[in-house]
Each structure stands twice: as C-alpha cells, then as structure tokens.
Amino acid sequence: MPESPADPLVIAPNLKRRLSGVTATVVRLIPVQARTIAIRATGPGLPPEVPHIPLIRAALMPRDRWRVWHARRNTEMALGLILRHLLRRKYRLLFTSAAQRRHTGFTKWLIRQQDALVATSDKAARYLDRPATVVMHGVDTDIFQPPADKATLRRELGLDPDAVLIGCFGRVRAQKGVDLLVRAGLRLLPDRPRVQIVFTGRITPDNRAFADELLEEIRSAGLEDRIRFLGELPWDQVVRHYQALDLFAAPARWEGFGLTPLEAMACGVPAVAARVGAYETLIRDGVTGSLVPPDDLDALTEALRHWLDDDAARAAAGRAARDHVATNHAIEGEARALVEIYNELLARP
C-alpha cells in the first residue's frame, strides 16, 4: 500500500506550464502510480485531478528519509541537484530520457549526476553514456477507448459525421511533418470528397510563417473547409477528437518517443507514421497501420491512399490497433516498471 499522501516518497516535477509530451506523460501517469506508491507531481499548471504539491513544499521536504526526484527535463535535473546539494534534501535522482540524438555537454554532465536512468526506447538508451532501464510509455486504455457512438460525438464536436476523418495532433511545425500531410491531402482529397483532415496543436510565433504558407496552399486548392487547423485544445477535447477519427497520421521527420499514434490506436484508429522515434515498435506495419520512410511525401500519400480507399481494411486495422495497445502498451505496465525502480532507489543504503 502507498504511504500517506502527506508524506510522498516520489516527486515528479513538471516545470513547463504549456501542454507538451512530457507534461502529458506526467498528467496521465501520476494518478496511476499513486495507486501503489506515495507519489506527487509538482510544478505550474497541473490540472486538479493530478496528485500534486506546491514546488516550495517539494523543496523543503523533511530530511528524515530518502525520496526520489524523477526528472524528465534538463531544468528538472538541475533543480534536483540544487535541492540535494544546496538545500541538503535527501533526494535520489532519476532521469527519464526520450531523446534520440547526441546530448550537449551540459546535458551529459547532468546525466552523470543522476542515481539512475530510464530510457523510453532502446534507441534513446543508446544515446546515453550510462546504463539505463528501458521503460516504454503506455496509454490509459480506460480514457483512450473507442467511442460509443462516433457520429454523435462528431456532431458534438462540430465535425462531419459522414466524413472519413484523418487527424494529426501536436504542435504545428516542420519537425512534425505537418507540411507533408497537408501536401498529401492536396493530392488525395480532390478525388475523395468524403475525406477531411484536422490538425490540433499550438502554432508558436516562430512557426506562424510556416503555417500561413500551408494555409495559403490549402486556400489555393479550394480545400479550406476540408483541411482545418483547430488550434490548441483542452486535454479532454483532444481525447474526444482522437475518438472521432478514422485514421491518424504522424509523419514526423524526427521524434523522441512519439505517443500520439499509440493514443489514437487505443481509440480504435489505425495510424500511418514515419519510421522515427518509437513508431516502429508501436505500429505493426500492415496490421494496425503503416510505417513509411521519414520525409517521403510519395510513400506517405500511398499509405494514406491504401487505408482511405478500403473501408473494411481500415475498420479491421482499427480493431487490431485497439487490441494491440490494450495487450502490449497499457499504462499500468509503465507505472509498475517505474515503481519498481523507485523502490530500488529508496532501498539503497
């Protein structure tokens, strides 16, 4: 049984107010972990349903026992070091890395100060200079699940109940391959009047020109009513939009882990994704969706064409996708693996 919530054994900082992949991980994972260990998040902008404590309290924990500080960003690793060495708090330091790229010198130094490391994939582990335990992300299959009535849901969301709907969720930028999906849509949609594409996610000022160029291409093709950017949505609305889809696309040029196809598949939606991040591990090519080479517009277009033009195959892939996630990628497995690491750190002399 977990310890008293008033005396958490594990603190998971989230030092970023806006929704990001890391924030989404904290928000969905902490409530599940809290069933078996006294864990609390800390940081700005956390929703009320996430068990959390003020940052000042995390910084002033009693020195009566060791606790775990589970960081997922450089800033959080640095703060953990400050708490332990300057404020003399008894924190074991744990860092989870999803990055699949060479780390900077400062990041390498921070990583060397950690007591233990977790990587979200085998690829991410290879970029760490020290041994790491691989714990892949999971999905809460009670939250991400097929809707009871997709047509009714779409009407509530202001979406066409009769459309074949493709979705792509995440910040609007070139790294996510948003331009590739738009241009695939410009090729496919004129001959497929039922097909529509929706994007959700924030457009930051530095990506405004990138988005405006795509919007102009869409307007020039007369498809502004069928390729739409919905902006940044509240988390519960993002979940509902996943459930409204027929097909998900993740044509990223690079990715750390990449949770969005997994969330879509949990909702019974097949996914087409580039071979980046952990997508090759998550998607069964030809069964729960398709994998294509990164930055390959022709391959992306053909993969989308296959699923759009075969309603029966798309529906079967959606059912297989849900079963695959429920069997292999439920969030409870991720939570258990991390709690085992916490307990090992807490038991160290």
Mean pLDDT computed over 140-146: 94
Q: Are 157 and 271 in contact (CB under 8 A)?
A: no
Mean pLDDT computed over 97-107: 87
Please count the other Cβ atoms lying within 10 Å of the Cβ belonging to residue 118. 22
Q: What is the pLDDT of residue 1?
A: 38
Share above pLDDT 70 across residues of the chain, in percent, rounded to a whole number? 98
Pairing status of strand 67-71 against strand 52-53:
unpaired
- The mean of the pLDDT values for the chain is 93
Q: Domain 150-328's class?
A: alpha beta
Give the tens place of pLDDT for each residue, 187-203.
Answer: 999 999 999 999 999 99
Q: What is the pLDDT of residue 5?
A: 55
CATH for 10-138+330-347 (3.40.50.2000, 3.30.300.30, 3.40.50.261, 3.10.129.10): 3.40.50.2000
Q: Are 292 and 272 in contact (CB under 8 A)?
A: yes
Q: Give the pTM.
A: 0.84
**Please, which pLDDT band fits residue 232 given cuts at 50, 70 and 90?**
very high
Strand (E) or helix (H) holding 95: strand 91-97
Q: What is the pLDDT of residue 235?
A: 83
Residue 276's contacts (CB-CB under 8 Å, 6 or more residues apart) are: 100, 252, 253, 254, 255, 258, 294
Question: Does residue 169 register a pLDDT over 70?
Answer: yes
Share above pLDDT 90 across residues of the chain, in percent, rounded to a whole number? 84
Mean pLDDT computed over 146-158: 97
Mean pLDDT computed over 3-12: 78
Mean pLDDT computed over 121-143: 91
Question: Does residue 4 register a pLDDT over 60?
Answer: no
Q: What is the pLDDT of residue 2?
A: 45
Question: Does residue 145 register a pLDDT over 80?
Answer: yes
Mean pLDDT computed over 141-156: 96
8-state DSSP, 181: H
Q: What is the pLDDT of residue 19?
A: 61
Mean pLDDT computed over 60-68: 95
Return the SS3 of 199.
Answer: strand
Give the tens place of pLDDT for each residue, 66-92.
Answer: 999 999 999 999 999 999 999 999 999
Q: What is the pLDDT of residue 6?
A: 62
Q: What is the pLDDT of residue 312?
A: 97
Alpha carbon distance 176, 256 (integer Å): 11
DSSP per-residue codes, 253-285: SS-SS--HHHHHHHTT--EEEES-TTHHHH--B
Every domain of the chain and the residues it spans: 10-138+330-347, 150-328
Between 183 and 104, whose confidence is greater? 183
8-state DSSP, 174: G
Region of 131 (left: φ > 0; alpha: ψ -120 to 50; beta: rest) is: beta
* Closest C-alpha among 78, 70, 148, 146 to residue 113: 78
b/e 44-61 (16+ beta carbons within 10 angstroms → b): eebeeebbbbebeebeeb
Does the fold of domain 150-328 match that of domain 10-138+330-347? yes
Q: What is the pLDDT of residue 28?
A: 87
